[in-house]
Structure 1
Amino acid sequence: MVDRPNKPAALATTPGLPPQAQVNISHGNQRVTAVLPTGESVEILLHGATVISWKAADDTEKLWVSNAAKLDGSKPVRGGIPLVFPVFGTAPDHAATSKLPQHGFARSSRWEFLGKSTSESGDASVKLDFGLSSASLSDEVKALWPYDFNLLYSVTLDAKTLTTSMVVTNQGNEPFEFQMLLHTYFKIKDISSTTVTGLEGASYVDKVDNASVKTESASEVSITGETDRIYTPVKKEEPIAIVEGSSKTFNISRDNLEDTVVWNPWTEKAAGIGDFAPKDGYKNMICVEAGSVQGWVNLENGDQFEGAQTITSL
């Protein structure tokens, strides 16, 4: 072969188009990673379609993942953004979901990566789509929840925000009921100086206090011990914020998700969770979780439900 000294160089991008996000599948077809031209990145484990990393351009991690989290598909991930469907917690009194494991099967199922789409405008962004259907479930899981459904989960990354949305479709002849939650673990510097705003006036179920129903009177909710609350915010259109010290670090906007769970295991609970590490990691995380978990969403044949959250890094 003749070597041409003036041969044309390979083009990195198509002329005239702005730089695009780079999407890669790695770890033996187990993970999908997207990196924007500006350096922000997101990584999703196909086991559970769990977002396990969301980084700023300077490589600062925004999500907390336990050091003992299983990322090999052997169990749901402790940290990141696990997907809760079709039941929140356990529901022994709800016949259709009574036999399912805690938080359902979405977070422990293998999802299919359906592809990417990028912004055609000057603002770099990328959307990654993932799918799970009744056809892809094991016979064991189908026996526990025998409905014909399809889930489309989308993760959209741009320079300042991460949007996660779920579309649930009933593809069968029989209606079904479900709950869903985006179980987001935020990484923070110090829980003792962190508060959550946007919950004042909201009714909430305090699961640490015998599931008693209370009303939030504080404009800033502090975490001073084990916390496990299901809020139904009264100001649905306003974002919920995580405040560290005197500065907001995250805004969480919800779309068609009426409830917000606030969770921190604190000392004793963290010590008893096998895959929670380090044991004092509760000091550096807080879960603020958008979902629909108070009651049940009923979906008739052919109907769809869509819920989403958009997290803005401030």
Structure 2
Amino acid sequence: MGTPSFAIRDIVNEDGAASISDYGAHVLRWAPSGMPDVVWKPRTIYLQEGKAIRGGVPIIFPWFNSGYDPTLAEAGEDTPAKKPKHGFGRTRFWTPDPASSDDAHVRYTMDSSEIDPSILAQFVGNPEPRFHATYDVTVGDSLSMALTVTNDGDEPFSYEAALHTYLHVGDVARAQVLGLDGAEYLDTTLPGFPVRVQDGPIGFDGSMVDRIYLTGDSADDASAGDDRGNDDGLRVRDDALDRTIRVATPGAKAVVVWNPGEEAGNAIGDLEDGEWRGFVCVEAAANRDRLITLSPGESHTLGQVLSVEE
């Protein structure tokens, strides 16, 4: 069996259009009909096996960044860094399901039997997890993305996940994220990730913003069936393009907001200087102590729905 190809699938209908890569099941762009792109892609997209695609919507799974183990954290110990960074979901070919796909929807699947056991051994709570994952993308005047993971084994396991969505803005300095006023967040730009409280809209001044907003239950309280998320009020106001993007995050336990800022953004090798100004990432997430634990037979769906307010 040969190496899968870097196929790009275009989904086009009267309500919207998107492009999706089989590599990473990665949404590269999406726009409602007659509007500028809402999901941002860089000027140049680099496709290389083992390397994550920049922009679009990378699938972060089954750990976030270098990984997190709440048991070790409670004991005051660091979690050993897991590889690859942000998990293997964004750096492997997913399997498209033609029977479940049409001009408005595509489904991808992945099974634990396809993953090297040495990589699976890094899962929290179970070094031999058995699972299957489906990723459904529905394209129209809104964009719906849903990652569903099912425990097919006899023992529980835990995982982190995020839909690392790059939203296109005309100029990030003229954009604000609304709807998180009063929420606690971890400021990951500072040592120890101190807890802060959001005061008003989130703005961007050219310095790095990297925050995990604690919008859902912690691992001690969360269950696989908990479908809460941020379904009302989370928006990105873009004065440069004169539009507001609405973001719903069903199944999320947290919301990540990120922009690298000028210094770090211009140092990113697969972006051109200044491209950092064209996006802000708002991500449905279940990470750190808000990770998902699945008992045998349980499933959890992490979703993100984007639309443009009229």
Report TM bin, short chain.
0.7 to 0.9
Q: What amino acid does structure 2 have at the position aligned with 1:149?
A: F
8 A Cα contact 2:67 2:86, kept in partner: no
Q: For residue 35 of structure 1, what is the aligned residue in structure 2?
A: 12
**Residue 28 and residue 109 in structure 1: after superposition, are their counterparts in 2 closer, same or farther (change >3 A)?**
closer
1:164 and 2:142 equivalent? no
**Residue 48 and residue 270 in structure 1: after superposition, are their counterparts in 2 closer, same or farther (change >3 A)?**
same
Give 1 or 2: higher strand fraction: 1
Distance 2:231 2:34 in 1: 31
Q: For residue 43 of structure 2, what is the aligned residue in structure 1?
A: 67
Q: What amino acid does structure 2 have at the position aligned with 1:137?
A: I
Question: Among 115, 127, 138, which residue is 1:137 paired with?
Answer: 115
Tell me the TM-score normalised to structure 1 length.
0.81
1:85 and 2:61 equivalent? yes
Q: How does 1:226-245 map to 2 (within 5 A)?
A: 226-233=208-215, 236-245=230-239
Distance 1:60 1:237 in 2: 24
8 A Cα contact 1:53 1:62, kept in partner: yes
**Residue 173 and residue 228 in structure 1: after superposition, are their counterparts in 2 closer, same or farther (change >3 A)?**
same
Aligned residue for 2:264, secondary structure, equals: helix
Q: What amino acid does structure 1 have at the position aligned with 2:233?
A: P
Q: What amino acid does structure 2 have at the position aligned with 1:215?
A: V
What is the deviation of 1:93?
5.2
Q: What amino acid does structure 1 have at the position aligned with 2:279?
A: M
Q: How does 1:203-242 map to 2 (within 5 A)?
A: 203-210=184-191, 211-218=193-200, 220-224=201-205, 225-233=207-215, 236-242=230-236
Q: For residue 90 of structure 2, what is the aligned residue in structure 1?
A: 107
What is the deviation of 1:167?
0.7
8 A Cα contact 1:87 1:97, kept in partner: no
Q: How does 1:281-292 map to 2 (within 5 A)?
A: 281-292=275-286
1:313 and 2:308 equivalent? yes
8 A Cα contact 2:105 2:136, kept in partner: yes
Q: For residue 175 of structure 1, what is the aligned residue in structure 2?
A: 156
Aligned length: 279
Distance 1:171 1:239 in 2: 36
**Residue 151 and residue 249 in structure 1: after superposition, are their counterparts in 2 closer, same or farther (change >3 A)?**
same
Distance 1:28 1:93 in 2: 35
Question: Among 149, 153, 162, which residue is 2:131 paired with?
Answer: 149
8 A Cα contact 2:261 2:276, kept in partner: yes
1:44 and 2:26 equivalent? no
* 110-119 vs 303-312, which moves further: 110-119
What is the deviation of 1:97?
7.7
**Residue 134 and residue 118 in structure 1: after superposition, are their counterparts in 2 closer, same or farther (change >3 A)?**
closer
Distance 1:106 1:268 in 2: 28
What is the deviation of 1:306?
1.1
What is the deviation of 1:301?
1.2
Distance 2:305 2:159 in 1: 22
Q: Please list every run of at least 4 consecutive aligned residues from structure 1 whose deviation after the TM superposition is greater than 6 angstroms.
A: 94-97
Distance 2:33 2:230 in 1: 31
Cα deviation 1:40-67 (Å, max 9, x = unaligned)? 2111111110001213323732222233
Q: What amino acid does structure 2 have at the position aligned with 1:304?
A: S
8 A Cα contact 1:149 1:169, kept in partner: yes
Distance 1:87 1:180 in 2: 6
Cα deviation 1:69-119 (Å, max 9, x = unaligned)? 322434111110000011111126567984332111100111000136579
What is the deviation of 1:271?
2.6
Q: For residue 55 of structure 1, what is the aligned residue in structure 2?
A: 31
8 A Cα contact 2:249 2:304, kept in partner: yes
1:265 and 2:251 equivalent? no
8 A Cα contact 1:183 1:288, kept in partner: yes
What is the deviation of 1:254?
1.5
8 A Cα contact 1:241 1:248, kept in partner: no
Distance 2:9 2:49 in 1: 14
Structure 1 unmatched ranges of 5 or more: 1-26, 120-124
Tell me the TM-score normalised to structure 2 length.
0.82
Aligned residue for 1:271, secondary structure, equals: helix
Structure 2 unmatched ranges of 5 or more: 73-78, 217-228
